[in-house]
Structure 1
């Protein structure tokens, strides 16, 4: 208890009975370093796997920037130098912003657990800069090129079909990968897709027979089991195959599985579907999020 008290006193943290109890209960190491604390917090937290991976990536980048850094090192100057370091490494403005947001999460947790005094919060005057990202989508012509692409390789065909299915339904990669036969139900004899979004936990209902003239159903019929269709491996690997498919279809865009979601929104808006309806189809809690996704085609502007 004396060691814990001295450790807190040295860091300028007022010692309270609750802090002592908390330190003993959790058996906190007295001289724990910032990276050790961060990794332990990430591993023990109930955050989603993707969020944990992002946090751990930021911790690795931080250790490359300042090996063995401690809590007292994380100051306004530390943040500014870290930002410059990331720029010199060739990172984009938004990638730098992502790392800084992850660091802010770790700093907030360190303050909550008493490792950093609240009055030493380094982000108080530090502004995280961010640029408006471009939401890449496919035009109707580009989508048709993919639809008409002749692919003999089974793996490439599987990745292409999954991508087209997501273009017709607006599914995220994470939602597509969790599909099972139970997600396809019949309402008045017509097939609907019912599922709960992995990211937002929102229940989504899609009339497959109405969206894009039922093209999603045509893709589904090529596969005996929905679960097998949904098994397309890691996102990064699937995106590499998508790059090959884009080249074969003469599409000069960097496309990923999330491009399918952007494409779905853009084409629905182009067809005249109200943005609030598109919001419900995508499972967004705010229509502002949907508006960010909806690119505007030149034809849409001319028609309007």
Structure 2
């Protein structure tokens, strides 16, 4: 990058919610386009004298880089790119997906989910006839109109009931994904500011109280007794209600994963299909009642054979819940919600529950804890009418 003599260079900063302040350089000429360079330097909250000394050293380093840019020395730092808002949004999103692929902390499921969000953003660009929209046009108006698009225009064509509008939960997830992408763009100096924080709260999607359906003990008994033409679905669903396994994990469950310990049989999941995290789950009496007999099966044989496709299992479960007189929208995945709610209600601590579910974030498990607390509050309130 050749820096003209008429170009001004300023050291800028941007404070994040974490409390840290990112430092970056802004290059601009009168009437020209602004360019930005991320320095990968940040100031930390000054709570101690050592924090102050660290910030002074960081600021001195940033000012030194600024001086070098003014003098034309090392105008492009080694291994770093000088990003500019002239980058096309579509191309930048593709680069962001490559960034996720290179990062070890991002699971394949998360990468796949983010690709879906990128495709939705690209469909919006096509909708507004701006497939080559530049990053500097990703502003307050763009963001607001995109949210309107996914709410009122975009339809899920992969749904069995296609075209199907997006659920509030899905729209919130898309908003969260876009926010993550744009946050990274701001940190890299590609965007000057995050358009989400310029929106009115009423214009954005907000988290609603948890609507995760689960089965109570009484409802589980009714499901276990209902007659069905899909006995394997019933068996695998009930087993998952007492182990918390996903449908995808059940497909990869072999007899070698069922191990005898001093405390009884346990399921060892080396790598859950979604989170790639391991888990150890004790097999209680109820779970064992729904587990097949091993017979002559070898260690390399699956525990459950002829497992129905997830979509077929969900349809069978809807028929079963209707027969059992249960007015809830139950899918196969609700078995995990049921397991989490049951063991938390029984007294399991949230950390143990999180480990058995294979959650990578304790906050995900806290959702179930909130559900259990609501049940406890309701139970206590029932006493109000007695005395």
TM-score range, shorter chain: 0.7 to 0.9
Q: Give the direction of change, closer, same or farther, for the CA distance of 1:247–1:44 in structure 2 (3 Å limit).
A: farther
Indicate yes or no: 2:202 matched with 1:138: no
Question: Is the contact made by 2:253 and 2:303 (CA closer than 8 Å) also made in structure 1?
Answer: no
TM-score, normalising length: structure 1: 0.74
In structure 2, the partner of 1:33 is 88
In structure 1, the partner of 2:292 is 221
Question: Is the contact made by 2:344 and 2:369 (CA closer than 8 Å) also made in structure 1?
Answer: no
Counterparts of 2:235 and 2:322, CA distance in 1: 16
In structure 1, the partner of 2:111 is 52
Give CA deviations for 1:208-261 in whole Å, capped at 9, x if unaligned: 1xx3xx122232225647635277466445433433333344432211222112
Question: Displacement of 1:49 after TM fit?
Answer: 3.1
In structure 1, the partner of 2:161 is none
Note the residue ranges of structure 1 that are not aligned, 5 or more in a row. Answer: 3-7
Moved over 6 A (4+): none
- Is 188-197 or 12-21 further displaced after alignment? 12-21
- Is 217-226 or 98-107 further displaced after alignment? 217-226
Question: Is the contact made by 1:137 and 1:263 (CA closer than 8 Å) also made in structure 2?
Answer: yes
Question: Displacement of 1:113 after TM fit?
Answer: 4.8
Which has more strand, going by share of residues?
A: 2
Question: Displacement of 1:205 after TM fit?
Answer: 2.8
Q: Size of the alignment, in residue pairs?
A: 287
Structure 1 counterpart of 2:269, from 191, 195, 199: 195
Q: Which has the larger radius of gyration?
A: 2
Q: Secondary structure at the match of 2:35?
A: coil
Counterparts of 1:161 and 1:298, CA distance in 2: 30
Indicate yes or no: 2:255 matched with 1:181: yes
Q: Secondary structure at the match of 1:254?
A: coil
Question: Displacement of 1:168 after TM fit?
Answer: 0.7
Question: Displacement of 1:280 after TM fit?
Answer: 5.1
Q: Give the direction of change, closer, same or farther, for the CA distance of 1:23–1:41 in structure 2 (3 Å limit).
A: same
TM-score, normalising length: structure 2: 0.61
Counterparts of 2:111 and 2:121, CA distance in 1: 15
Question: Is the contact made by 2:292 and 2:304 (CA closer than 8 Å) also made in structure 1?
Answer: no
Question: Is the contact made by 1:171 and 1:282 (CA closer than 8 Å) also made in structure 2?
Answer: yes
Indicate yes or no: 2:245 matched with 1:171: yes
- Is 219-228 or 62-71 further displaced after alignment? 219-228
In structure 2, the partner of 1:12 is 34
Q: CA RMSD in A?
A: 3.9
Q: Secondary structure at the match of 2:239?
A: helix
Note the residue ranges of structure 2 that are not aligned, 5 or more in a row. Answer: 3-26, 38-68, 70-74, 154-164
Q: Secondary structure at the match of 1:194?
A: strand
Which structure has more RCO (C-alpha within 8 Å, separation ≥ 6)?
Answer: 1
In structure 1, the partner of 2:198 is 125
